[in-house]
Amino acid sequence: MKRMILAAVAALAMGGAAYADTIKIGVVGPFSGPFALQGKNFKAGIDAYMALNGSKVGDDDIEIIYRDVPQADPAQAKALAQELVVKEGVQYLAGFYFTPDAMAVTPLLTQANVPLVIMNAATSAIVTKSPLVVRTSFTTWQTSTPIAKVAKDAGVSKVISVVSDYGPGVDAENAFKAGFEAAGGQVVEAIRMPLATNDFSPIMQRIKDSGAEGVFAFLPSGPTTLGFVKAFKENGLKDGGIKFFAPGDLTQESDLPALGEAALGIQTTFHYAVSHDSPENKAFVEAAGKAIGNPAELSFPSVGAYDGMHVIYKMIEATGGEQDAAKAVEAVKGLSWTSPRGPVSIDAESRHITQNIYLREVAKADDGTYYNKEIQTFEKQGDPGLAALK
């Protein structure tokens, strides 16, 4: 009886407070340092969503609290997440560009009663670490598997795989290999290069000597991509007829002005191109471009953040602003909507986003800028990486 009264009093107190309350969302991402551009994209996506859909859900105001983890740093990510939950009292955690950071935070979720919405980190295993994780970005497996089919359809049967030697690179190598061998192709050689490689000429020589008809490559977006793509052209591989396949990280929009001519004609598969032709995307690009300042800096993490906000808004609607992580996550299982990237849904079992993967080719627009032109759609792709984990 005593407990019931206490609970009633507590509910009253909380109910009173929840009325026109402020719901806080803690976003962890790289907002300074070498990856600041990706953090800026998180912020642009979030700002765009709130500009288009308002900063209120029901009667509750939404407040975003940002925390900066400049480089993959699990210990710091965990400390910041803890601080957000305990001191700031956030109801939702979101963001996370790097897998190790997200992994470090998953053990906190159940006790903190907080759902985690991943807006980028792309390793398949994260969603298995806690039932309170929902992901609105992509996985490397998800974006790298369709390109294997594209390669086989292009008449290439021998491919050399060249990836940067770190987690996502190894994921990409395995995903491509699985997909390509299932399609009847052969990966003749698999090279893993150090992340800090500047000069790719020796790698190009290796590719040439391997006798492969095509190359599958994965490097983290940024400076190394530029060196790799340029070396591919300058060492005569492009003109030598060797075909180039990669997931879309290699031709992210913010790198394209620098890649320019060298990237022309490269085919990649990815979940989002800024050029995607739909009314939803037009509205999104306009709002996000305004939020980021320079629209040329817009890239894929922004759409992950935008959809992440959509999922969080739906969670808040479903729970009426109360803190109930399990109910919130339950509410978005199977949720489907039209994202700027196309039709998407949250897979009820894995809590990962099911989406279209597009085959794109780098093309030159009339105004002389380069963009990813979507030429083929692989509909409703789940995450094949989860099956590979088992």
Partner 1 sequence: MQTVLSIAIDALAYGMVLFVISIGLSVTMGLMRVVNLAHGAFAMIGGYIASYAARDLGLAYGFAVLLAIFGTIIIAVPIERLLYRRIYGAPELTQVLMTIGITFCIIGIANYVFGPTLKTVPLPGELQGSVDLGFRAIATHRIFAILCGLVVAAGLWYAIEKTAFGVKLRASVDNAAMAAALGVRTEIVYAVSFAVAVGLAAFGGVVGAELLPVEPYYALRYMVTFLVVVSVGGAGSIPGALVACLLLGAIDTTGRYLMPEFGEFFFYLAVIAIICVFPRGLAGRAKG
Q: Taking CB under 8 A as the rule, does residue 40 contact partner 1?
A: yes
The beta-strand segments (E) located in 321-364 are: 336-339, 342-346, 353-364
Q: Which residues in 154-191 are b (16+ Cβ under 10 Å) and which e?
A: eebbebbbbbbebbbbbbbbbbbbbbbeeeebebebbb
Q: Is 205 in the site for partner 1 (CB under 8 A)?
A: yes
Q: Which is nearer to partner 1, 4 or 196 (CB)?
A: 196
For residue 24, what is the DSSP state? E
Nearer to partner 1, 91 or 164 (CB): 164
Q: Which is nearer to partner 1, 237 or 359 (CB)?
A: 237
Q: Which residues contact 274 (CB under 8 A, 6 or more apart)?
A: 253, 281, 285, 298, 299, 371, 372
Tell me the closest approach of the beta carbon of residue 189 to partner 1, in angstroms.
11
Looking at 60, 101, 213, 255, which residue binds partner 1 (CB under 8 A)? 255
230 binds partner 1 (CB under 8 A): yes
Among 113, 197, 275, 345, interactor with partner 1 by CB under 8 A? 197
Region from 15-23, 132-140, 231-239, 327-335 binding partner 1, contact rule CB under 8 A = 231-239
- Cα atoms found within 13 Å of the Cα of residue 363, Cβ hemisphere only: 11
36 binds partner 1 (CB under 8 A): yes
CA gap 289, 276 in Å, rounded: 14
State yes or no: residue 257 binds partner 1 (CB under 8 A). Answer: yes
**Residue choice 125, 296, 318, 363 for contact with partner 1 (CB under 8 A):** 296
Pairing of strands 22-29, 60-68: parallel
Residue 257: how many other CB atoms lie within 10 Å: 10
Helix (H) or strand (E) holding 162: strand 158-164
Which one of the spans 84-92, 128-136, 256-264, 349-357 is the region binding partner 1 (CB under 8 A)?
256-264
Q: How many CB atoms lie within 10 A of CB 100?
A: 17
The CA R_g of the chain, rounded to the nearest whole Å, is: 22
Q: Does 223 bind partner 1 (CB under 8 A)?
A: yes
Binds partner 1 (CB under 8 A): choice among 100, 131, 220, 222: 222
Residue 347 has φ and ψ, to the nearest 5°, of -65, 125
Select the residue interacting with partner 1 from 1, 294, 367, 368 (CB under 8 A): 294
Among 61, 73, 83, 297, binds partner 1 (CB under 8 A): 297
Q: Which stretches of the chain bind partner 1, using CB under 8 A?
A: 33-34, 36-37, 40, 165, 191-194, 196-199, 201-203, 205-206, 208-209, 222-223, 226-227, 230, 233-236, 239, 254-255, 257-258, 260, 294, 296-297
